[in-house]
Amino acid sequence: MDFKRNAGILLHVTSLPSPHGVGTLGTTAYEFIDWMEKAGLSIWQVLPLVPTNYGDSPYQSVSSTALNYYLIDFDILHKKGLLKKKDYETRRFGDYAGKVNYSLLFTEKTKVLRLAFDKFEKKDPEFISFEAKGEYRDFAVFMTIKAMHEYHPWNLWDKKYQSYSKELEEEILTKHKEDYLFWIWTQYEFLDEWNKLHTYAKIKGIEIMGDMPLYVAYDSVEVWKHPELFVLTEDKEPKLVAGCPPDCFTEDGQLWGNPVYDWSYMKKTNYAWWNERIQKAFGLYDILRIDHFRGFAQYYAIPYGLPNARIGEWMDGPKFDLFKDKLDYRIVAEDLGFIDDDVRTLLKQTKYPGMKILEFAFDGSKDNEHKPSNYKENYIVYTGTHDNMPLYQYILDLGPNALDTFLIDLKEECNKLKVEMNQGSYEAVTETVVELAFASIANTCIIPVQDMLALDGSSRMNLPATVSTSNWSYRVLKNQLSDKLATRIKNYIVKYNRTR
């Protein structure tokens, strides 16, 4: 994959400004693309667009391929004649423009979408054709039953519904047809809005980089309907779950709890499920980042039921076998964490670009692979990811010795890359690190919006291995995406030859 020298921004759709509680695919998304064009940016990186479930994480979804109906825009539905302004403008979706209130979204957004669906013409030929393709049927059947059970996980449903069968599906399609069609419509409407937005981005010279989680949630349509894809007991309980072993950051490791794949079964099917999943993703995005890419080389499996990730073992994934026919795909490998020779071999075989993180770079070690002077071109450099503490707060939290090391290292890297170092304030140091990313040899430079704005820890997108209303809820304020910021970024882009 050949990435030209360019730059982008990391901002999830939910984090966009909007008047109705969460970022959507409406006006402010178009305005954000306009702002990106003004700043000279050419890649918009988003997080997974799948529906969120327990903990509001896009990495724990009820479906690996369905689309998040929270992102459907009310004003667009109003223009289509499906909503009156009073249907949504009188409702409360949150109290603060800088945070998503998922609790209110859960109770209020679906009610408004139902009102729109009631007015929608179900006999529209395009909609009938969309439903007939069956692409989102599994999701719609699953969500219909889930709603019948007050959205509880499938393993807590009435016994009759806990196992998929063709007969059960037919019963849902006939006895609960209106509810089923509602969930189909959410996908139909999302795709209509998304495809128009994506086309607009292309016209403006902006590509969208999507994100694919490695794993699916236990409470997902895939585990419910296709238990054969996972390492489960006869009762469909996990035998092994995913996570990360203990390291210098977490003494208990990270217990994610996702069921792990039965890779031997998947190999027998020539990886049909994965092939379809990746193809669908490229129907939405121009570039695809695959999260926890190292799990395809080896993955860490923990016996189900343990309280933490201290006890587990590394097991072989599919390695190159899964990707041998995908070498021309524009895939980015999230290769962070514990990297061994197996992972390095897989990256070399696929030639997919890996990621470098400047927040990890300035520790005093000359061999640190995150230092810009150690890069090769085929990397994507970030100041941080959605899982990192925003850079400004990270620097602020460094102890005296670590801060001295950070600044000495930073100055040395700035000298090597001919970047003027400004350490007059923590904001200035943050700006210097951002500029260093633009100056690096890495083909692509992507900066989270929090780091472009030098925001503190309250803007953190996610603290891994925790469930909190602070996670996934950050939103940028409209006035923060200023002309002044766009000019500063454009200057970096011109100066370091990252023009579109």
pLDDT tens readout for residues 448-487: 999 999 999 999 999 987 889 999 999 999 999 999 999 9
Percent of the chain with pLDDT over 70: 99
Q: CA nearest 361: which of 388, 386, 334, 343?
A: 388
- On the CB side of 70, CA atoms within 13 Å amount to 30
The β-bridge partners of 380 are: 355, 444
CB atoms within 10 A of CB 292: 21
- Helix (H/G/I), strand (E/B), else coil: 60: coil
Q: Collect all residues with Cβ–Cβ distance below 8 Å to 412 and sequence separation of at least 6.
A: none
Sorting pLDDT into bands at 50, 70 and 90, what band is 2? low
Asked if 290 and 334 count as a contact pair (C-beta separation under 8 A), the reply is yes
Rounded Cα gap, residues 381 and 69, in angstroms: 31
Please identify which residue in the block is written with the tokens 């993703």: 281
Task: Write down the catalytic residue from 179, 222, 291, 435.
Answer: 291
- Of the candidates 463, 458, 485, 456, the one whose C-alpha atom is nearest the C-alpha of residue 474 is 458
Distances (CA, A) of 54 to 131, 140, 227, 468, 491: 27, 18, 20, 10, 42
387's tokens: 């899982």
pLDDT in tens, 49-94: 999 988 899 999 999 999 999 999 999 999 999 999 999 999 999 8
H or E element at residue 169? helix 166-175
In this structure, the number of other CB atoms found within 10 A of the CB of residue 305 comes to: 9
Tell me which of 75, 334, 409, 435 is the catalytic residue.
334
Q: What is the mean pLDDT of the chain?
A: 96
SS3 54: helix
Confirm whether 291 is a catalytic residue: yes
Higher pLDDT, 394 or 340: 394
- How many degrees, rounded to 5, is the angle at CA 32 between CA 426 and CA 105? 90
What is the edge-to-edge ordering of all strands in the sheet holding 298-303? 254-259, 240-244, 298-303, 313-316
**Residue 334 bears catalytic tag:** yes
Give me the catalytic one of 169, 286, 387, 412: 387
Structure tokens at 12: 């999830």
Separation of alpha carbons 363 and 48, rounded Å: 31
State residue 478 phi and psi, 5-degree precision: -60, -40
DSSP secondary structure code for residue 286 in this structure: S
Output the pLDDT for position 290.
Answer: 98
pLDDT at 1 over 80: no
Reported as a single tens digit per residue, the pLDDT across 356-411 is 999 999 999 999 999 999 998 889 999 999 999 999 999 999 999 999 999 999 99
Q: Is residue 108 annotated as part of the catalytic site, yes or no? A: no
